[in-house]
Structure 1
Amino acid sequence: MLYYLLVPLAKDHIVFNVFRYLTFRSFMALISALVISLIVGPWLIRRLRRMQHGTDTLREDTPEHHRSSKKGTPTMGGVIILCATLGSTFLWANLANRYVWVAMLAIAGYGLVGMWDDWTKIRTKRGIPARGKLAAQVIMA
């Protein structure tokens, strides 16, 4: 989005030429993703903890040492990664490039499968079956 707003200004001001460089936009996307995750992360983690209050989403076959270290960790933390990745891509990528859209749809698709699995874990204490998850991921590919 910023690509389309700022690149046309390069005709009038040479300083805006920097927005044409993929390396600059990649670095700015990295910084933007970090800022988005630092802003969205704490709020989302608090909300997820409230939503999962009192529920244990660990499987029965989880080793005891792993169980104690994961106690109180909310599921669906991948939503933070999705927000940061897709948000910074929308800001800095050339959205006329079809490969950008393919990558964003793949990321969103796999993220939806992960959210579906985590949501099922919260509701039924078991995630979606491995075959169902694999089938959904193959469809996304």
Structure 2
Amino acid sequence: MSDDQALFDKGLPIRRAVLGAEYVDGSMAKADDFMMAFQRATTAWAWGWAWGEPTLDRRTRSLLNLAMLTALGKIPEVKLHVKGALNNGITVDEIKATLLHATAYCGIPAGLDAFKAAHEVLVAEGALPGKK
């Protein structure tokens, strides 16, 4: 078995646990040969290699991801990883504190975008009440 295959096999269950099997399996099912190269790479490298490394727990990795994705302005990924953070047991207050910390270092526009994205997901997931 190649190293990439071993990392893929290690990463796939982690990716499913964090992001949800429905999302991950749907992404894999929709991928043609061209996009499957990316699916394999992200599963092996991000999930098998990075998330599969045992030093940091999944909660810590979720908080790091939210801060880094805020810094990068990757709002669709912020949304995805807010849901993943909930799956990893992160509370709404911990998400808020992480986004406030990222806002202090990344700036108000980046923080505002991340807060809006997180709020949308938290309401959709039932972690926050919708506006009355």
TM-score w.r.t. the length of structure 1 is: 0.23
* Bigger Rg over Cα: 1
